[in-house]
Amino acid sequence: MSIRKLQKSVINLKEKNNVTILAHYYQNIEIQEIADYLGDSLGLSQIAHQKATTRYIIFAGVVFMAETASILNQDKHILVPERQACCPLADFLTPTIIKKFKQEYPSLPVVTYVNTTAAAKAESDVCCTSSNSINIVKKIKEEFEVTKILFGPDNNLAEYVAQNSGVEIVKIPGEGHCYVHSHLTLENIKGSQAAHPQAKVLVHPECIKEVREYADFVGSTAGMYNFVKENRDIYEEYIIGTEKGLLSRLSVDFPNNRFYLPSEKLVCMDMKKNELQNIKAILKHLDAEDYDKLKQFEIKVPADIAERALRPIKKMLEYSKKS
């Protein structure tokens, strides 16, 4: 079956069974095209909570994202096309590691990146995203009246936050990184810029320090998208230093601009485990009311963990409103 026919079949089943499909910007373009909503991880979870009225939600991303959606939507069924689509960055930080650091630094608050498991969030004082991390760290420092905080799991983001907040950070666990963003080198950027000297360089804060300091803009996935949206008539070309799925989205939405990937290594193989066929399989089980088969796709955070993990998420949202 061709991609277009498969997409049409998915859309028909989605509409027939009243299902909402969420897709992260890093998904393959054929999945992005059939989604009801696109966005970054926390944004999609908030959409699931605020806009999705359907009982069933298919989340095309990685498992920690579906967990966050489950935390915010305990009354809904969050389904993933592929349960093996995990995030190695999130797996760096376990509840056991957090508890160990809390014992060593009992007076320091714990800030966890949203790219963590539900169980890790449950051991945190507040969560943050790549876009609000600097502000969140400043706020938690003031509330706890401390000079430093515990932050994990991404080392590069921790370094970026420390540089821009003036807050001393203890990295937990100390070696956490995104295998996609950390592979991007300054040589990759300069090589791409040599071929496209007029292009603006946009990179993610999970990139290494040398790359961040060289870039014209450092921001989250959504931040990079919005930078292009706001400047598309000013700058024609962009070098996109994040997972290639965003470049695909930008190329579709802004056809008058040109976008370049500085390295072919900017591919999240875990994100790419999600496939249209899997989404169709979920929808066919729904269509047949075969709910036992659906359980293999469902991500359900236990109520006790969800309740504890919701607190740091709510605190993050409260801090953001006060800014």
Q: What is the mean pLDDT of the chain?
A: 95
Q: 103: Cβ–Cβ under 8 A, 6 or more apart, which residues? A: none
Q: What is the pLDDT of residue 43?
A: 80
Count of alpha carbons within 13 angstroms of residue 39, beta-carbon side: 15
Contact indicator for 159, 209 with CB cutoff of 8 Å? yes
Tell which residue, 65, 23, 213, 222, has the closest CA to residue 132.
222
- Reported as a pLDDT band with limits 50, 70 and 90, residue 241 is very high
**Tokens linked to 205:** 């804060």
This model's pTM is above 0.75: yes
Contacts of 213 (CB under 8 A, 6+ apart): none
Q: Output phi, psi for 53, to 5 deg.
A: -100, -5
Least confident of 8-22, 29-43, 299-313: 29-43
Q: How far is CA 252 from CA 3, 20, 24, 60, 225, in A?
A: 17, 22, 15, 19, 12
The answer on pLDDT for 322 being more than 70 is no
235: pLDDT strictly greater than 90: yes
Architecture of the 89-177 domain = 3-Layer(aba) Sandwich (3.40)
d(CA 33, CA 237): 24
Reported as a single tens digit per residue, the pLDDT across 195-229 is 999 999 999 999 999 999 999 999 999 999 999 99
Residue 124: the pLDDT is 98
Contact (Cβ atoms closer than 8 angstroms) between residue 139 and residue 119: no
pLDDT tens readout for residues 125-183: 999 999 999 999 999 999 999 999 999 999 999 999 999 999 999 999 999 999 999 99
Fold agreement (89-177, 181-260): yes
Please, which residues have CB within 8 angstroms of residue 242's CB and are 6 or more apart in sequence?
A: 180, 181, 202, 203, 204, 221, 224, 266
Q: What is the pLDDT of residues 90-112, one digit of tens each?
A: 999 999 999 999 999 999 999 99
Burial class (CB in 10 A: 0-12, 13-18, 19+), 245: buried
Q: Where are the domains of the chain?
A: 3-86+271-302, 89-177, 181-260
Judge whether residue 323 has pLDDT over 60.
Answer: no
Indicate if the pLDDT at residue 321 is higher than 80. Answer: no
Report the distance separating Cα 171 and Cα 150, nearest Å.
6
CATH code of the region 3-86+271-302:
3.40.50.10800
Rounded to the nearest 5 percent, the helix, strand and coil shares of the chain are: 50, 15, 35
pLDDT of residue 246: 96
Tell me: pLDDT of 25 over 60: yes
Instruction: State the CATH class of domain 181-260.
Output: alpha beta
Q: Which residues contact 157 (CB under 8 A, 6 or more apart)?
A: 113, 130, 133, 151, 205, 206
Q: Which of 313, 259, 307, 293 is nearest to 125 (CA)?
A: 313
| Tokens representing residue 304 in the block | 């006790």
Residue 176: count of CB within 10 angstroms of its CB:
27
- Tell me the pLDDT tens digit for each residue of 63-92: 999 999 999 999 999 999 999 999 999 999
